[in-house]
Amino acid sequence: MEVDTLIIGAGAAGMMCAAHAGGRTLLVDHAKKPGEKIRISGGGRCNFTNLHAGPANFLSGNPHFCKSALSRYTQWDFIALVEKHGIAWHEKTLGQLFCDDSAKQIVAMLTREAAAAGADLHLETGVDAIERGPDGFTATLTPARGKKRRVSARNVVLATGGKSIPAMGATGFAYDIARQFGLPVTETRAALVPFTFPEKRFADLSGTALPVRATTGGTTFDEAMLFTHRGLSGPAMLQASSYWREGQPLAIDLSPGLSLFDHLRARRQVHGGRNLTTELSAVLPAKLVHHLAAPLALTGNLADQNDARLAEICDSLHAWQLLPSGTEGYRTAEVTLGGIDTAALSSRTMEARDVPGLYVIGEAVDVTGWLGGYNFQWAWSSGWAAGQAI
């Protein structure tokens, strides 16, 4: 079989690319259905972009790399596409846009767009090997049923994503092929992932959530934190995990919107006889106050605490220091940090500088977004950029 472009991976980036690449396009995926991560994303409603998406919301060895694609195919372009397909959406919080009904609408939209552009989708089809010759590439396709087939293509697009959630078929395929063609791959690690702590330290708090300000690696996020049986999750922790490294502490402000010192001092003037933990439980989850009572020696009435002691307690609660033992890893991570080094790629076309015809898009590239629709926006923008260039 001979095609112009072979796109490997029918996920967010691959389908977007297929919708814009001209000529004969073959889109293959080893999964049974396209866009499986889109389907499960955003609790089944797909947080498909963010109103505020911009280069500052991405981590990369080269923070400038994402600028070109993001500015040429923006969140507004994707919103226009969603509206063209009559998909109702809403902003949930912090600029995060979700489908009103189902993430499946986004998968159906992209499948239709790719088909309308003439792309041929082959599911349950892996790729064994890719070789480069004088006129392009030759790949061996391995369908789940039937014989292996050879396909020749002028262009090959690596759109197989990162390593997160191997149970859903995530592989390091793109990294292996990149290395085969001499493209460097930066260190990869699980990101947007819950933290773990030894001895199920917060098991007694499992299910408790509160708004916090979390700081690690010099970056701060104001979002919700959730205690789980295994450790800490919720948006604030997932965001922090992308900036955290083993051995680093996490600083958590448990009351970002209210100065506990001012509040408790004012309460002490009128209700000095009230119990300290009862008063704290009025502004923090009671279970959390109970959990912290022994380590922070939260005993006595408000009147028992002089200003210095009150300040000491409040400082501990505004800058709670924790040392995670690790993260839940790729098993539950929403994304992979790191990937194919942007130095090897054109930021305008996503084509490998030294391997004409080889493109890399989406999560496989060393560009990782924050939580909140940014990773899909990168998939759309980078997929579009490659599609335009092809």
Closer by beta carbon to ligand FDA, 139 or else 252: 139
Considering only residues 152 through 191, tell me which ones interact with ligand FDA, judged by CB under 6 A.
159-161, 164-165, 169, 171, 173
Rounded to an integer, what distance in angstroms lies between the CA atom of residue 316 and that of residue 384? 48
Q: Does position 111 bind ligand FDA by CB under 6 A?
A: no
- Pick the stretch among 34-42, 210-218, 287-295, 312-320 that binds ligand FDA (CB under 6 A): 34-42
Q: Which of 4, 23, 24, 31 binds ligand FDA (CB under 6 A)?
A: 31
Given 194, 231, 373, 387, the residue binding ligand FDA (CB under 6 A) = 373
Please identify, using beta-carbon distances, which residue of 279 and 334 lies nearer to ligand FDA.
334
SS (H, E, C) the chain: CEEEEEEECCCHHHHHHHHHCCCCEEEECCCCCCCHHHHHHHHHCCEEEECCCCHHHEECCCCCCCHHHHHHCCHHHHHHHHHHCCCCEEECCCCEEEECCCCHHHHHHHHHHHHHCCCEEECCEEEEEEEEECCEEEEEEEECCCCCEEEEEEEEEECCCCCCCHHHCCCCHHHHHHHHCCCCECCCEEECCCEECHHHCCHHHCCCEEEEEEEECCEEEEEEEEECCCEEECHHHHHHHCCCCCCCCEEEECCCCCCHHHHHHHHHHHHCCCEHHHHHHCCCCHHHHHHHHCCCCCCCEHHHCCHHHHHHHHHHHHCEEECCCEECHHHCCCEEECCECHHHECCCCCEECCCCCEEECHHHECCEECCCCHHHHHHHHHHHHHHHHC
Q: Using an 8 Å Cβ cutoff, are 207 and 196 in contact?
A: no
List 5, 7, 9, 226, residue binding ligand FDA (CB under 6 A): 9
Task: From 5-13, 143-151, 182-190, 305-313, give the range in contact with ligand FDA by CB under 6 A.
Answer: 5-13
* Structural tokens at position 344: 């090897």
Question: Smallest distance from the beta carbon of 322 to ligand FDA, in angstroms?
Answer: 24
CB 210, min distance to ligand FDA, A: 22
To ligand FDA, the closest distance from the beta carbon of 8 in angstroms equals 5
334 binds ligand FDA (CB under 6 A): yes
> Closest distance between ligand FDA and the C-beta of residue 103, in Å?
8
Q: Is 339 in the site for ligand FDA (CB under 6 A)?
A: no
Per-residue binder mask for ligand FDA (CB under 6 A), 37-56, x = binder: x--xxx---xx---------
State the residue number with the nearest CB to ligand FDA: 11
Q: Which residue among 5, 6, 7, 11 contacts ligand FDA (CB under 6 A)? A: 11
Site for ligand FDA contains 234 (CB under 6 A): no
Between 170 and 210, CB nearer to ligand FDA: 170
Minimum CB separation of residue 174 from ligand FDA in Å reads 8
Cα(177)–Cα(370) distance, integer angstroms:
26
Q: Find where tokens 């767009």 sit.
A: 113
- Judged by CB under 6 A, the residue of 141, 350, 379, 390 near ligand FDA is 379
Q: Which is nearer to ligand FDA, 237 or 364 (CB)?
A: 364
Residues 344-363: x/- map of binding to ligand FDA (CB under 6 A)? ------------------xx
What residue ranges bind ligand FDA (CB under 6 A)?
8-14, 28-31, 36-37, 40-42, 46-47, 126-127, 159-161, 164-165, 169, 171, 173, 334-335, 362-364, 373-376, 379
